[in-house]
A and B are shown apart, each in its own frame.
Chain A
């Protein structure tokens, strides 16, 4: 893969992470509840972390990007509807929103991998794995907040 193509691939990925960061920051600013604001700020910080990770790979082309998929894909995001962001979101909806976005990212990179050249396919698959790991982490969190036994 030439340097230009590599740059283009990482630019796509980095842009997505920054967009996600900005999205969560914007939602955090609108949240009425302090705990929810904190949660969205944490999600925004996570996206910044993802962006920085990508930048490390971009800065060092010699480094082989190898991100393993999590041991299992629980597909919880896939079982949920995408919530509409609002200022009074509950933790369940906030986490659902985040994991749905990660699911979309996984699907995005998998689609790119499917149509990519042999050179770039591997990178897109690794990026899909990275997003899958994020999705898995959020799904674990969703389990803790998404099924309250309230009556």
Chain B
């Protein structure tokens, strides 16, 4: 596990990990924080925030040095394996250790465990991707797994634990700026014509759109005039909230579809009341590419309507009636042009989901890909990645690193869970986690009111003095609008994916009241909204 607070963010997956440990699996938790899963780990590797590349390159150096690399796999399934052998020579464990803060002996121990294991599965989450070097972090994990010959093996691979139940499905369906559904590039003339023919239109735009940060940034110079936002509490979830608000205010027209009012809805010109997951027919595709049915259990309240219905009505008013009569009709239309989903009918997934690729109704679905190291491009390609420091390192004025994440009891911006009495009773306010050594220096006790300040803003919240945080590191979630970490986070992005560096920015922490201080209105555990 690397960069994944699994028990908090992926509790179901964490159950399977714990079960695997009970059955004898060796668990290595690589995380700057002493997260809950460390209690189950053979080894907790507390690497410094954002030093994954140095750490992983150091491990590979040690694997090659000790003859633990899978030379047969490297020879038959990868291209130019000597290039990575040479590349990681710049990262002997002694050098890597100075960067990542992991003792040399611990790194050697990890390398030995990996090198001697028959199969290792790597799971990662946003601790890997939410950095300015997120893409390179993932590529480095792929390098490691190729060096270990763990690709195309059952229970091996590089496994991103998806951030939401259907983020895989949303990507598969083309909720991305540059591809249609099934990852068909919009700028490919043949594909564009195929889709135009399928949808009965003369032509389709062939210029890739913008990723979210660029969309918002371009609002400031008129490059983005209209934003149509479905189930995304943009103000709350993007980094540097003050700047996000400025960008949204610059839009000419802003439409929001959501189930409850939130921090974003006040800026909308039009709000479409949306349906919740229990009020929709359709499918979810989860992190293992498994497509499962979701069924309508409740009639949506008031004027709330299904996503597909709202979009179809918009289409009619823009001159194109898609003519769908149900969610299943949309699905059947999609299947015709999405070959990886081509064999997945709702009838086939009535009881249990199927994993794509499942191109025909005769195909049983695919539990894992690239069997025996057969990659889509032919042979596996190593990427040469170098460690880079975080965009905003700590300094005298802002001496701590702020890292952010999720809590078990809340989901994202809280549009759903902050409106649930039960969840708010269990965990009703945000806390800033700080290491006991740092807390002592600042005179902070658990329950004291502290102010966290970055170059972008300040929030006030209670402190939780805990060794879950490493010295020099403070941590908070973004679930609570009263003390949202995205007031603080930095709007610097990975250059490829444009994922923000939510996991690291420089912050100052000061005590503003002791544990007996009466909290301000915004800090009072609020009652669930009706």
Nearest-neighbor residue (CB-CB) of B152 within chain A: A144
Nearest-neighbor residue (CB-CB) of A144 within chain B: B374
Q: Is the CB of B370 closer than 8 A to any CB of chain A?
A: yes
Interchain nearest-CB distance for A61 vs B (Å): 36
- Interchain CB contact under 8 A, B362 and A75: yes
- Interchain CB contact under 8 A, B342 and A79: yes
Q: Is the CB of B419 closer than 8 A to any CB of chain A?
A: no
Q: Of B178, B342, B378, which one neighbours A151 at CB under 8 angstroms?
A: B178
Residue-by-residue, is B373-417 near A (CB-CB < 8 Å gives 1, otherwise 0)?
Answer: 011111100000000000000000000000000000000000000
* Docked CA distance A33–B377 (Å): 11
- Interchain CB contact under 8 A, A144 and B370: yes
Residue-by-residue, is A46-65 near B (CB-CB < 8 Å gives 1, otherwise 0)?
Answer: 00000000000000000000
Residue-by-residue, is A30-54 near B (CB-CB < 8 Å gives 1, otherwise 0)?
Answer: 0001011001000000000000000
- A73 and B374 in contact, given A151-B171, A151-B183 (Cβ under 8 angstroms): no
Note all chain A residues with C-beta closer than 8 A to B371. Answer: 140, 144
Residue-by-residue, is B333-365 near A (CB-CB < 8 Å gives 1, otherwise 0)?
Answer: 000000110100000000000001101101110
* Docked CA distance A68–B19 (Å): 41
- Interchain CB contact under 8 A, B362 and A73: yes
Note all chain B residues with C-beta closer than 8 A to A73. Answer: 362
Residue-by-residue, is A109-151 near B (CB-CB < 8 Å gives 1, otherwise 0)?
Answer: 0000000000000000000000000000000110111111111
* Docked CA distance A76–B152 (Å): 21
- Interchain CB contact under 8 A, B339 and A147: yes
- A147 and B360 in contact, given A79-B342, A91-B377, A91-B378 (Cβ under 8 angstroms): no
* Docked CA distance A144–B375 (Å): 7
* Docked CA distance A149–B342 (Å): 15
Residue-by-residue, is B176-200 near A (CB-CB < 8 Å gives 1, otherwise 0)?
Answer: 1011001100000000000000000
Q: Of A140, A145, A148, which one neighbours B183 at CB under 8 angstroms?
A: A148
- Interchain CB contact under 8 A, A141 and B378: no
- Interchain CB contact under 8 A, A148 and B378: no
Q: Is the CB of B366 closer than 8 A to any CB of chain A?
A: yes
* Docked CA distance A39–B375 (Å): 12
Nearest-neighbor residue (CB-CB) of B172 within chain A: A149
Q: Of A74, A75, A92, which one neighbours B376 at CB under 8 angstroms?
A: A92
Q: Is the CB of B369 closer than 8 A to any CB of chain A?
A: yes
Interface size on A, residues (CB 8 A): 25
- A76 and B363 in contact, given A144-B369, A147-B340, A151-B179 (Cβ under 8 angstroms): yes
Interchain nearest-CB distance for A9 vs B (Å): 29
Note all chain B residues with C-beta closer than 8 A to A78. Answer: 360
Q: Of A35, A74, A151, which one neighbours B176 at CB under 8 angstroms?
A: A151
- Interchain CB contact under 8 A, A74 and B339: no
Note all chain A residues with C-beta closer than 8 A to B182. Answer: 147
Q: Is the CB of B467 closer than 8 A to any CB of chain A?
A: no
Q: Is the CB of A90 closer than 8 A to any CB of chain B?
A: yes
Interface size on B, residues (CB 8 A): 28
- Interchain CB contact under 8 A, A74 and B362: yes
- Interchain CB contact under 8 A, B374 and A79: no
Note all chain B residues with C-beta closer than 8 A to A90. Answer: 377-378
Q: Of A35, A140, A147, A149, which one neighbours B378 at CB under 8 angstroms?
A: A35
Interchain nearest-CB distance for B363 vs A (Å): 5
Q: Is the CB of B79 closer than 8 A to any CB of chain A?
A: yes
* Docked CA distance A52–B89 (Å): 48
Interchain nearest-CB distance for A32 vs B (Å): 12
Q: Which of A16-42 contact B (CB under 8 A)?
A: 33, 35-36, 39
Note all chain A residues with C-beta closer than 8 A to B374. Answer: 91, 141, 144-145
Interchain nearest-CB distance for A78 vs B (Å): 8
Note all chain B residues with C-beta closer than 8 A to A91. Answer: 374-378
- Interchain CB contact under 8 A, A74 and B360: yes
* Docked CA distance A148–B374 (Å): 12
Interchain nearest-CB distance for B161 vs A (Å): 15
Q: Of B183, B359, B366, B377, which one neighbours A149 at CB under 8 angstroms?
A: B183
Residue-by-residue, is B72-99 near A (CB-CB < 8 Å gives 1, otherwise 0)?
Answer: 0000000100000000000000000000
Nearest-neighbor residue (CB-CB) of B78 within chain A: A35
| Interface core residue of A78, A144, A146 (most chain B CB under 10 Å) | A144
* Docked CA distance A75–B340 (Å): 13
Interchain nearest-CB distance for B269 vs A (Å): 30
- Interchain CB contact under 8 A, A143 and B339: no
* Docked CA distance A91–B183 (Å): 17
- Interchain CB contact under 8 A, A79 and B183: no
Note all chain B residues with C-beta closer than 8 A to A150. Answer: 183, 376
Q: Of B356, B362, B364, B375, which one neighbours A147 at CB under 8 angstroms?
A: B356
Nearest-neighbor residue (CB-CB) of A145 within chain B: B376
Note all chain A residues with C-beta closer than 8 A to B360. Answer: 74-76, 78-79
Would you give 23 A-B contacts (Cβ < 8 Å), ordered by A?
A35-B79, A35-B378, A36-B378, A72-B362, A74-B362, A79-B339, A90-B377, A90-B378, A91-B375, A91-B377, A143-B357, A143-B363, A144-B152, A144-B370, A144-B371, A145-B375, A145-B376, A146-B376, A147-B182, A147-B339, A149-B171, A150-B376, A151-B176
4 closest A-B pairs by CB: A35-B378, A148-B376, A147-B357, A147-B340
**Additional pairs, 18, CB under 8 Å, beyond known A91-B374, A147-B182:** A72-B362, A74-B359, A76-B360, A78-B360, A79-B360, A141-B374, A143-B359, A143-B363, A143-B366, A144-B375, A145-B376, A145-B378, A146-B339, A146-B357, A147-B340, A147-B357, A148-B376, A151-B171
